[in-house]
Amino acid sequence: MQEDESYEIFPLGDQALTVCWGNRLSDAANREVGKGVARFNQAPFPGMRELVPAYTSLTIYYDPLYIRQHLAPAKTAYTYVCEQVKRILNQPVQITTASSRLIRIPVCYDPQLVPDQEHLLTYTGVRTEELIQWHTERTYRVYMMGFLPGFAYMGEVDERIRMPRKKQPVPAAAGSVGIAGIQTGIYPLASPGGWNIIGLTPVRLFDKNRKDPCLLSAGDSVQFFPIDKYEFAHY
């Protein structure tokens, strides 16, 4: 089998390495990360501890002591893990339906509920109706999870409603839907943040009492749909 040259591998300390599919955010690179996660979950190598996916990279943590003592006494643990990683990445992968879910999330775009909408409209020159249309007509990919429990980095938003992050973080309510550059996201908890808030969802993105506390996962697809203030209050 011919070795895939589309990625690079480099060490991350003495207990981890990172596989990188490029340094530019793209849907194609993020899908390679997702396939990498699926491969290692389906066929983990001995000594593997944890997988940490990001936008275009996958960090793999391993137990160097176990590897040197039981698996590769004549090699460094890093050399052994590199060999295993290349072998696994060149294996076929089975992507199940559950690993690429489509989740629809209601959002209220009423300006009385969201503090930043007027500023975004002024910055972009669009109307409220256009903002809602362009934000809801796309299906967004969850690139990665981070920042807060249940916070999903999603993209890419329509170029007509893109807006840079705020210079200083300000408080954001739980359920706040924001835009930062080419990405959109939802604050699962009340928190300071620098994203421009354009809507509010009544859906709980993080609930510690659920079997799966986080509603979204890396690789999911998300569609927003608009609701009014009455629907928001009675959701």
CATH architecture, range 100-233? Beta Barrel (2.40)
- Asked if 143 and 218 count as a contact pair (C-beta separation under 8 A), the reply is yes
Give the pair of three-digit tokens for residue 16: 């981890």
Distance in angstroms (rounded) separating the CA atoms of residues 218 and 154: 9
Residue 231 CA neighbour count, 13 Å, CB half = 13
What residue spans define the domains of the chain?
8-96, 100-233
Place of tokens 């893109």: 162
DSSP state of 126: -
Helix (H) or strand (E) holding 198: strand 196-200
Distance in angstroms (rounded) separating the CA atoms of residues 86 and 92: 12
pTM equals 0.82
The one-letter amino acid at 16: A
Distance in angstroms (rounded) separating the CA atoms of residues 68 and 82: 14
Nearest to 202 by CA among 173, 167, 180: 173
**Tens-level pLDDT at each residue, the chain (235 residues):** 344 558 999 999 999 999 999 888 888 899 999 999 999 999 999 999 999 999 899 999 999 999 999 998 888 999 999 999 999 998 887 665 445 699 999 999 999 888 788 888 999 999 999 999 999 999 999 999 988 999 999 999 999 999 999 999 999 999 999 999 999 999 999 999 999 999 999 999 999 999 989 999 999 999 999 999 999 999 9
**Per-residue pLDDT at 50:** 95
- Asked if 187 and 176 count as a contact pair (C-beta separation under 8 A), the reply is yes
Distance in angstroms (rounded) separating the CA atoms of residues 146 and 123: 28
Give the pair of three-digit tokens for residue 78: 């890093």
CATH architecture, range 8-96? 2-Layer Sandwich (3.30)
**Per-residue pLDDT at 95:** 62
Distance in angstroms (rounded) separating the CA atoms of residues 136 and 97: 23
**Per-residue pLDDT at 97:** 47
